[in-house]
Chain A
Amino acid sequence: MAAVAERRATGSAIVMVAYLLFLLTPIYWLVTMSLKTNAEITGTFSLWPHEPTLANYRTILTDPSWYMGYVNSLTYVVLNTAISLAVALPAAYAFSRYRFMGDKHLFFWLLSNRMAPAAVFALPFFQLYSAVGLFDTHIAVALAHCLFNVPLAVWILEGFMSGVPREIDETAYIDGYSFPRFFVRIFMPLIASGIGVAAFFCFMFSWVELLLSRTLTSVNAKPIAATMTRTVSASGLDWGVLAAAGVLTIVPGALVIWFVRNYIAKGFALGRV
């Protein structure tokens, strides 16, 4: 028995190492490339940088047209996360606690927005936000990303809230708590991990999206991802800076993962395991 279990553990370790190598090799390549000079990238083929340089990062961090891209992206991502959670929390509570007219249809309709291709909405968004004077602002991108983040946040939060027994609500009401006070003081701390997970997902999907954020911005709110695409076509060959910019877009995500690592798996199951 023990021998079998041991052999199985070794097998698992080999599978995981192989899979992680597959995941990390392309990222490793991007990181090495960001530390090379353009001459080394295009001239010689080397597995690691022979003359490591931080010049590519210096280019980005000293040029406002580059680093403002990060500031813009982070601004609308944080705005979007705040808006999504603020409207999704009460709605998820309603779905998890009550039956009301049209609740099932409403829930499915909300989810159907998660299935809407961004490409379908790119042009109408552009016209809508231009018409109301929000084009090229952070709030426009934040609102546009609500299209897919709000349904997702409602879905995740509803899963976590349904795990909290309803007796807690009833006891609190008997004790004389008003609904808003109960919700903020008692209920929200109970589902804190759910709120964290939902925030993580809103952050993630807003951070990685490009099509809508690029369509809705031109200068003032241009996201870093769009700055990168422009540079590819304009200067064409500046691979080092491109790679450095790519590495810097991975950093915020990696930090956020680290903070929520204990909830990741549960969060990916949207709270309903």
Chain B
Amino acid sequence: MDKPVNNRAWFLVLPVLVLVAFSAVIPLMTVVNYSVQDTFGNNQFFWNGLGWFQEVLDSDRIRAALGRQILFSAIILAIEIPLGIFVALNMPKRGFWASVVLVLMALPLLIPWNVVGTIWQVFGRVDIGLLGHTLAAMGFDYNYVNDPVDAWATIVVMDVWHWTSLVALLCYAGLQSIPDAYYQAARIDQASRWAVFRHIELPKMSGVLLIAVLLRFMDSFMIYTEPFVLTGGGPGNATTFLSIDLVKTAIGQFDLGPAAAFSLIYFLVILLISWVFYTVMTAQKDAP
């Protein structure tokens, strides 16, 4: 790129820096501060070194939550990305129905997250919910409150319901940018549907797919409100994901040191995995 070098551009960035410093750096430093100290109350702190980090890394509870979290994000990506692409390929391209479909699809994205949990709660309950009632009537022993497998299935379906539209809308925007000439050329070559997808549509979507994968990974890895409302992390600890566990430690029990160490490790894991996705997917794009 041939953008001119101009260090006065820093002045334009300054407001953002001040604001983000206030809303991100100061709180994050508080976390760092807590993570290396211990307290007996009364605001008396003393140095604890890396003790809390050791404790967090050795904790079976947190390791189990991390395992569940990785499994959850993997399932979410494996379902939502292909399904989103598939839906995007089938969306009407223009006209009245295109706007209607767009608006209806965007609807779940604008529902507050705890209302999403509430919707699935009243939808899934065996006594008053349409889904639970129907499944029970069909003879399934479905109960997301007591059965870990059902709880998992419900949370996964809920997340697919909530976020697949985001992937689909991103891919749709990518598809819209393909000129008709490409399709005409493919038709002249008598390219199969699969060949059109593989060699025209997929490459044109790669940019938006990167955004989709990154956003879905980050948000599924940080998921808190929806499972908290739906299952509260239960039954037992079956659906206690990292955020739920962290909030329990930090705000429920007010264990500042371990919670802070936990927070930093959590943040680093997200940064690391996002960076890996970013590097791998941009490297693929640049290669051929």
B110 interface contact, C-beta 8 A: yes
Q: A115-B218, A258-B103 are in contact. Are A265 and B169 (CB under 8 A)?
A: yes
Q: Bound state CA distance, A90 and B9, in angstroms?
A: 9
Let me know if A210 and B5 touch, CB within 8 A. no
CB–CB A120/B16 < 8 A: no
Q: Are B12 and A90 in contact (CB under 8 A)?
A: yes
Q: Which residues of chain A are within 8 angstroms of B177 by Cβ–Cβ distance? A: 273
State whether A124 and B30 are in contact (beta carbons under 8 Å apart), knowing that A30-B122, A86-B15 are contacts in the complex: yes
**Neighbouring A residues of B264 by C-beta, 8 Å:** 120
A/B pair count, beta carbons within 8 Å: 275
At the interface with chain B, which of A49-57, A98-106, A185-193?
Answer: A98-106
Does A64 make an interface contact (CB < 8 A)? no
Which residues from chain A contact B90 at a C-beta distance below 8 Å?
11-12, 15-16, 19
Q: Is the CB of A119 within 8 A of B112?
A: no
Q: Do B13 and A90 touch (CB < 8 A)?
A: yes
Minimal beta-carbon separation of A94 from chain B (angstroms): 4
A204 to B107 CA separation, bound complex (whole angstroms): 11
Contact B176–A128 (Cβ < 8 Å) = no
What is the size category of the interface that chain A forms with chain B?
35 or more
The listed residue (B114, B123, B170, B218) touching A210 by CB distance below 8 A is B114
A242: interface (CB < 8 Å): yes
**Which of chain A's residues have a CB closer than 8 A to the CB of B207?**
269, 272-273
Inter-chain contact B128/A42, CB cutoff 8 Å: yes
CB distance from A149 to the nearest CB of B (A): 10
- The CA-CA distance from A30 to B264 in the complex, in Å, is 38
Tell me the nearest residue of chain B to A246, going by C-beta: B115
Q: Does A221 contact B (CB under 8 A)?
A: no
- A217-273 interface with B by 8 A CB criterion: 224-225, 228-229, 232, 239, 242-243, 246, 249-250, 253-254, 256-258, 261-262, 264-266, 268-270, 272-273
Contact of B15 among A91, A115, A121, A204 (CB under 8 A): A91
Mind listing 29 A-B residue pairs with CB under 8 Å? Answer: A16-B91, A16-B92, A20-B104, A25-B130, A26-B161, A29-B129, A30-B122, A91-B12, A91-B13, A94-B9, A97-B4, A99-B6, A100-B7, A116-B270, A117-B242, A119-B250, A119-B263, A119-B266, A121-B24, A125-B27, A144-B23, A207-B112, A228-B114, A254-B103, A264-B102, A264-B106, A265-B172, A268-B170, A269-B207
Question: Top 4 nearest A-B pairs by Cβ distance?
Answer: A253-B110, A124-B27, A269-B173, A94-B12
Interface residues in chain B, defined as those with a beta carbon under 8 Å from any beta carbon in chain A = 1, 3-10, 12-13, 15-16, 19-20, 22-24, 26-28, 30-31, 86-87, 89-92, 99, 101-115, 118-120, 122-123, 127-131, 133, 161, 165-166, 169-170, 172-174, 176-177, 207-208, 211, 218, 221-222, 224-225, 229, 242-243, 246-247, 250-251, 256, 259, 263-264, 266-267, 270-271, 274
